[in-house]
Every structure is written in structure tokens, then in C-alpha cells.
Structure 1
């Protein structure tokens, strides 16, 4: 199997730090919802940053990092933080989801964007794989983190995807929820182990799948066991509602 190529994870020189590498922004021209986690079903805007520090086999946004399949010149642009904030503040929708890829690769450049959005009355959810500790400047009122540590069943080496000091930092922040993608019931045992070891709470479990059929089957298999553990369960609304269409 060909190993996906990745580009540098940070801008090339300090003068570029005010510009972020962006895959796409959506939710204004064509309205949409947050599809997962605690805010599932709420109207949302999305700023999807490009680049990732993992190469998960089951990733559904490979256009942010897999340059064996996608052309980075076609799939990403550099945009200033001011431009991104201006874009989001044109909409009355108050929830802005900053996702990826792995957005915390570029978190220093995100700080002024996030603070300007907060000043305009927005609230922010940062979706992260939990491998990079959050900058203290992002641990402020109005910002929450949807931390999704990737298990081996997601097609990744856990020596790369489970970073203890980063998980500990999110758990201590008081601003994180922990959303795990699960494929089978044994995944729930691994989630419980991580939750106990790193004091992760609250826990959300989401069935892995890229179609209604897959999600429905895994929901039926997992839901009872998740309920028995007193965890939260979330679906993937954007798959059910929009068939996983990009930009929805």
C-alpha cells in the first residue's frame, strides 16, 4: 500500500503565521448543521483547516492531507485570519465549528480568529484528534473542544494517535468533551480504558460509517452497550441528511 505523502505541518516562515491553510469554509450560502456530538442538529458554520498529523485509513476528509490521491494546490488555500473572521461574521448563525484535518497544527494562527469571533458573539467548537495540547489562549469562555482520539480500529497506530500528555491537558481544561468513533463493541472497552486512565469526561460514542446502512447497523449493535455504560451517543446527521455531501 502506498504511504500517503504529507506537506509541512506549519507555514514556512514566521511571516506566514497570520495566514492559515484552509481546505474549505461552508454553511452560509448553503446552510447546514453540526452533524456530530453535543451540538448535533444545531445550525453551524464550518471552517475546515487543511493538513493533519495522522493518516487514518478510515478518515472521511483525506482531501486535507492525502496527497497521493488529492492535489494540495487544488484542495487548499492560504487565507488570513481577518478574512476568515469576516466570512463568519456575515452570518447570524452563532456556532462556528473549526475542524480539519487537525486544526491545532495551526493553533497559534487561530488565536486571533477565535478571539475576534467571540467578540462578535459567536461560540466556537474546535474539533481535534487530541494529539496536540491546546494553547492556553484558546482555553477561554465560549470555546469548547470536541476531542476525538482515534482508536486502532479507525486504521491508525495508537502510538501516534493516543498522546497521554495531550489527553491529560484536555481533561484538565474543563472545556473538552471526548467523542470516540466506534466500530465494534470491543472498541467500547478501549474507550473505557482511556477514560479511566486519563479521566476523560463526558464521553460521546459515534458509530463509524459513511452510509445510512453502515451507521444504522452499528447503532443497533452499539447503542445498548453504550447506554449501559451511561455514556452519550451521537449519530452522524450530515450522512443521514445530506448523504455525506461535501460542504454540508
Structure 2
């Protein structure tokens, strides 16, 4: 069994050189759309980066960090920012979602990627767990952060997943929304505590589930309380449409 993933993630990010460690890119050859959050349903391209600094039990992309189950040599490649920009520019789709894993582990090498994508007329959404403050060079027009702090019910210790300084940096950036996975009303109560403590707004809630049936059931558990709190609600459209198929 390999060493725990966190040191590996740190080492990988430091050794990436001029390239980014990428798990997969999709949306050009086989069209898809953003499945969650404010842009749910918008046509989108995805650049999924490898490595993460958390080990969430309910993570649905463990192939980006869990080297006890997956081989990093098979699950990731190094690609330059120029290569990724050229890939995205080959499509007329405007929205590029940079996700992971945790993309901000590699944010020093994300700056030229963002600059190239913006020059190519793209807008960018980062999907981040909110534990790493964003580099100032990423806080530019055309970039938004979908910040998804992971609460304890997602299978992670909040002492690791909730980083007040990072959350507050996103909150004051004016470029972030806060998207929480929830499966119960108790989860919503915890989300409310975090939103109040760290001034997180706007709040989006997404029902936990990896099947259409699970998402539908959880939506019905949460909907009344989410509406009462005047929060935003988002589904997981890619799961409903594509049965959680990888690369869609």
C-alpha cells in the first residue's frame, strides 16, 4: 500500500514543474454540462486535476487521491497550461469547470491556465473544498469559485475540512458561492452554523446521492427546510442524466 495521500498530494504539487497533474478532461469530444450549482445545465468543459488534501469517505472521485485503490501512474498525467488551453479553445463552449481532487493544491500553475482561458473567451468555475485560500492572481474577471466545505456527515473530520481563514478569504473575494452537500435536516442546521460563523453567502444546498433514486429521496427530505431558509437548491444533474458515469 502506498503512503497516505496528503504527503503525496503535497509532493506532487511541488514537483509539477510547469505542468498540471490532470486526472481527466472531458466535454469536447462528448458534450456535457455543469451538473451542479449556479450554472447547472449550462454546456461545460471539464478539467479535472488530480490529488486532494482531504480523504472524504463519500467522495465520488477517489481516483484522484486514493492510492490504496487506484494507481496514480494510470490515473493522472502531466499537461501544460498551453496544452489545456488549446484543448478548451477547440470547442465553442464558453464555460470551463476546473475541478478535482482539489485544484487549488496546484494553483501556482493554474495562473497561466486561467490567463490563457480568459484570452480564449472562456469563463472559468473552480470547484474547491475551501481549505486553501485563492491566489490573488486567480481573482480576476471571468473566474468564479464554487466552494464546497465538507461537513462531518460527508465522512471527514471538520478540523481538517473547515479552515476559517480560507473560507473568509473566499467570502470576501466577491467571486464565490458556497455549495454544501447535505443528506439530512441536521446537516442543514450545521450548514447554517457555518454560514453564520464565517459570513458565507450565497448558500447552495445539493442533495447527497450517487443514483437518481437517492437524489430524489434526499431532495424530498431537504426541500422544505432549504426553502424555509431562503437558500438556493441545486440537484446533481449529471447523475440524473448519465447515471454518474465517469467523464460526463
- TM-score of the aligned structures, taking structure 2 as reference length: 0.96
Measure the CA separation in 1 of the matches of 2:72 and 2:54: 16
CA-CA distance at 1:48 after TM superposition: 0.1
Cα distance in 2, alignment partners of residues 48 and 155 from structure 1? 22
Equivalent residues of 1:17, 1:108 under 8 A apart: no
Unaligned 5+ runs, structure 1: none
Q: Secondary structure at the match of 2:98?
A: strand
Secondary structure of 2:10's match?
coil
**CA 1:56 to 1:169, structure 2 compared with 1: closer, same or farther past 3 Å?**
same
- Give the RMSD, CA atoms, in angstroms: 1.4
How far has the Cα of 1:9 moved from its partner? 2.3
Q: Could you say which residue in structure 2 is the equivalent of 1:124?
A: 124
In the other structure, the counterpart of 1:154 is 154
CA distance in 1, matches of 2:66, 2:203: 29
Structure 1 residue 183 displacement after superposition:
1.1
Matched, 1:194 2:194: yes
Shift of 1:8: 3.5
**Structure 1 residue 11: deviation in Å?**
4.0
CA distance in 2, matches of 1:113, 1:12: 15
**Matched residues in 1 for 2:187 and 2:200: separation?**
16
Distance 1:245 1:13 in 2: 31
Q: Counterparts of 1:30-45 in structure 2 under 5 Å?
A: 30-45=30-45
Q: Which residue of 1 aligns with 2:4?
A: 5
1:17 to partner: Cα distance = 2.8
Alignment deviations for residues 79-135 of structure 1 (CA, whole Å, 9 cap, x no partner): 111111111010000000000000000001000000110011100000000000000
Deviations 1:111-161 (A, max 9, x none): 000011001110000000000000000001100000000000000000000
Separation in structure 2 between the aligned mates of residue 12 and residue 137 of structure 1, nearest angstrom: 18
Q: SS of the counterpart of 2:166?
A: helix
Q: Does the 8 Å contact 1:20/1:78 carry over to 2?
A: yes
1 CA distance for matches of 2:3 and 2:189?
Answer: 30
Aligned to 2:178: 178
2:2/2:67 contact within 8 Å kept: no
State the Cα distance separating 1:5 from its structure 2 match.
3.0
Contact 2:205 2:231 in 1 (8 A): yes
Identify unmatched segments of 5+ residues in structure 2: none
TM-score (norm 1): 0.96
